[in-house]
Structure formats: structure tokens, C-alpha cells
């Protein structure tokens, strides 16, 4: 491990102060300086843990001027920590330019894992998590937001959004319209806090539930939406694409069988397609029984 000064990226709680790890507490107490998105906000967190390390502001409006000064401190041998207001820095939060500059200047960048609202919500959502797409905040204006949801309508991965309490009602209504009222989703509100609410249901029902209950419109939100189911049209197109490639390399029945397994498309339909693509092979390459 290099003994050059390091930049520590420190995750902080998203509501429950018990979620600040012992390692984070130690590192925050040991570094020379903490760069925080909002020094007053982070000051309260540090005070709670009796940490007296000085703070400096690093946010989207001063990152350009601050980054060279912070890199200079690293060059002088002072290790630094980066904090955002809550959760993991750089996840819908500033810090990217500083992290990049630290790498470029040859300083170790050391992440301290901890809370992240998106991952916390996903872990309790009960929706597929083997693949997911983190989308951050949707556009604020309805027309742009609807276009943006349209662009995600066929996305098969589970979708993860952050949303503001000012837009939660309209945004859920737009989601129900664009993704469909029956699409499964989860509203995760006030995670790790007193009024934590994790509510699964179809988008239409969730939109109505939040609209009709003012209490459910308060606080911080993660919205998780089930990915699009593969349609018959998708598997047919995929099957045809795979079949065309395999027919160049394999006997017809083997190509059909593999294309069906890979795409989920019916074997008999792919067999008919293969014959139409390669009519000359139909006499010698019969579809075996059971297809
Ligand atoms: N860096 C943070 C993280 O790791 O999750 C996210 C920062 S982003 C500016 C803030 C948004 O995260 C909030 O508007 C909300 O959508 C989501 N969020 C943060 N804390 C949350 C909580 N306790 N419950 C639900 N959502 C939360």
C-alpha cells in the first residue's frame, strides 16, 4: 500500500445515525480535512460523534475552484475525506471531479462503504436484483419526464429512481401511464427513519395510494419499478436473429434447437423459418419428432 496521502470516500447515514460505521468514525477523526457538500449539515453529524476535524465546502458550484486546492493538500501529505449530505458520495451527489483528480495525481482513493438509499431500497423491494439500472432523479417537468419514462419502457432490468416529495404524486402518475398501471413497483420512503415505509404494489395502485394520503407525500423517496417482461415479439425477433447466425455454421436442426433455447422462441416456428431461409435443406434435414 502506498504511503502517499489518501482521499477517503466516506458513506454516511441516510437517516439513522447508528449506520455510521466504526471505520468511518475513525477515518473522519484521523484525516486532516473533510470536504463536505454542506458543512453545516455534516458539522452536526461530526458533533454527534465528537469528531473535531475541520470541514471545507465542496459542492457543484465550487468544485472547479476547490479541487486544485484539495489536491494540493494531498500533495502536501494531508489525507482528506469526502462526505455528501447523506449516503454514498458521488451517487447523485458531487465529488466526481475530485475523485478523478486524485487518481490523476497518483493518490490512493479509498472508499468506505455504508448506506446508499438506492441499494437499501433494492435490498427490501422484493423485485429482481440480479440486474438493475440506477436512473437517479427523473426530469422535473412532466413532458420531459414522460419522454424519459417512454425511453425506459422496454428496459428489462429493474429500474431505480430517486424522486423529490414535490413531484412524487405527478411522477408516480406518469409512471403508471407510461409503464402501465399493472407494472409492479415499490415506493420506499424515509428509509432507516421513524416513518420508514416500504410499499410494494402495481404502479396504478401505488400512484393512487400516495395521491390520496398526504402523509405518504412527505420525506425522501426511492421508487423501484419491475423491468419490462420480454414479449412474444421480442423473443421471435431474437430467435430469428440467432437462427440466421447459426444456420451459417451448423446443421439446420441443431441451429433451430440452439436458437430456441437461447431466445425462448418456439422450436416449430424457428424450424419453419429455417426452411424458408434455406429451402434446399428441407429434404435432407427433417425436423425430428418432438419438435
Ligand atoms: N448519495 C445518496 C445515496 O447514497 O443514496 C443520495 C443523494 S440524493 C441527492 C438524495 C436522494 O436520495 C433523496 O432525494 C431521495 O430520493 C434519496 N434518499 C436519500 N435518503 C433517503 C431515505 N432515507 N429514504 C428514501 N430515499 C432517500
Q: Write the pLDDT tens digit of every residue in 166-189.
A: 999 999 999 999 999 999 999 999
8 A C-beta contact, residue 253 and residue 285: yes
| Mean pLDDT, residues 258-270 taken together | 88
Give the three cell numbers for residue 165: 416529495
Please report the atom of ligand 1 found closest to the CA of residue 162: 16
* pLDDT band for position 291 (cuts 50, 70, 90): very low
Please report the atom of ligand 1 found closest to the CA of residue 15: 23
| Mean pLDDT, residues 224-243 taken together | 86
192 C-alpha to ligand 1 centroid (Å): 11
Higher pLDDT, 217 or 277: 217
* pLDDT band for position 160 (cuts 50, 70, 90): very high
Positive or negative: CA dihedral 241, 247, 250, 254: positive
* CA angle at 61 for the pair 59 and 64, rounded to the nearest 5°: 90
36 C-alpha to ligand 1 centroid (Å): 16
The alpha carbon torsion through 62, 68, 71, 72 (nearest 10 deg) reads -120
162 C-alpha to ligand 1 centroid (Å): 7
Q: What is the pTM of this model?
A: 0.82
8 A C-beta contact, residue 87 and residue 93: yes
160 C-alpha to ligand 1 centroid (Å): 12
pLDDT computed for residue 287 by the predictor:
53
Please report the atom of ligand 1 found closest to the CA of residue 116: 4
Please report the atom of ligand 1 found closest to the CA of residue 196: 24
Q: Which residues, in sequence order, are bridge partners of residue 35?
A: 56, 82
Using a 6 Å CB cutoff, which residues line ligand 1? 14-15, 84, 86-88, 91-93, 116-118, 162-164, 188-193, 220-222
* pLDDT band for position 282 (cuts 50, 70, 90): low
- Report d(CA 103, CA 60) in Å as an integer: 19
**Residue minimizing CA distance to atom 19 of ligand 1:** 117
103 C-alpha to ligand 1 centroid (Å): 26
Q: In what order do the strands lie in the sheet with 158-163?
A: 132-136, 158-163, 221-225, 184-189, 197-202
Q: What is the mean pLDDT of the chain?
A: 94
Higher pLDDT, 289 or 22: 22
| Closest of 139, 85, 89 to residue 111, by C-alpha | 89
Q: Choose which residue among 220, 223, 224 to substitute to test ligand 1 binding: the one with the highest number of ligand atoms within 8 A of its C-beta.
A: 220
190 C-alpha to ligand 1 centroid (Å): 9
Higher pLDDT, 153 or 284: 153
pLDDT computed for residue 3 by the predictor:
78
Amino acid at each position: 500500500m502506498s504511503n502517499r496521502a489518501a482521499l477517503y470516500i466516506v458513506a454516511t447515514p441516510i437517516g439513522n445515525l447508528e449506520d455510521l460505521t466504526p471505520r468511518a468514525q475513525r477515518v473522519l477523526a484521523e484525516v486532516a480535512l473533510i470536504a463536505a457538500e454542506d458543512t453545516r449539515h455534516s458539522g452536526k453529524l461530526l458533533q454527534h460523534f465528537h469528531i473535531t476535524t475541520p470541514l471545507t465546502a465542496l459542492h457543484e458550484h465550487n468544485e472547479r475552484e476547490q479541487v486544485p486546492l484539495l489536491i494540493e493538500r494531498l500533495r502536501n501529505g494531508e489525507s482528506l475525506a469526502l462526505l455528501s449530505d447523506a449516503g454514498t458520495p458521488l451517487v447523485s451527489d458531487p465529488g466526481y471531479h475530485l475523485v478523478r483528480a486524485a487518481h490523476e495525481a497518483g493518490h490512493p482513493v479509498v472508499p468506505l462503504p455504508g448506506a446508499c438509499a438506492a441499494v437499501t431500497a433494492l435490498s427490501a423491494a422484493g423485485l429482481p436484483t440480479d440486474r438493475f439500472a440506477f436512473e437517479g432523479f427523473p426530469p422535473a417537468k412532466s413532458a420531459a419526464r414522460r419522454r424519459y419514462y417512454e425511453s425506459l419502457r422496454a428496459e428489462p432490468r429493474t429500474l431505480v429512481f430517486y424522486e423529490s416529495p414535490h413531484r412524487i404524486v405527478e411522477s408516480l402518475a406518469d409512471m403508471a401511464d407510461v409503464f402501465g398501471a399493472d407494472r409492479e413497483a415499490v415506493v420506499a420512503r424515509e428509509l432507516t427513519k421513524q416513518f420508514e415505509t416500504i410499499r410494494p404494489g402495481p404502479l396504478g395502485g401505488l400512484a393512487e395510494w400516495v395521491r390520496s394520503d398526504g402523509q405518504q407525500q412527505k420525506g425522501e423517496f426511492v421508487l423501484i419499478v419491475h423491468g419490462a417482461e420480454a414479449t412474444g415479439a421480442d423473443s421471435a425477433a431474437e430467435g430469428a436473429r440467432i437462427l440466421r447466425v447459426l444456420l451459417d455454421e451448423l446443421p439446420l436442426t441443431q441451429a433451430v434447437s440452439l436458437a430456441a433455447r437461447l431466445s425462448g422462441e418456439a422450436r416449430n416456428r424457428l424450424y419453419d423459418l429455417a426452411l424458408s431461409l434455406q429451402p434446399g435443406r428441407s429434404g435432407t434435414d427433417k425436423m425430428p419428432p418432438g419438435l
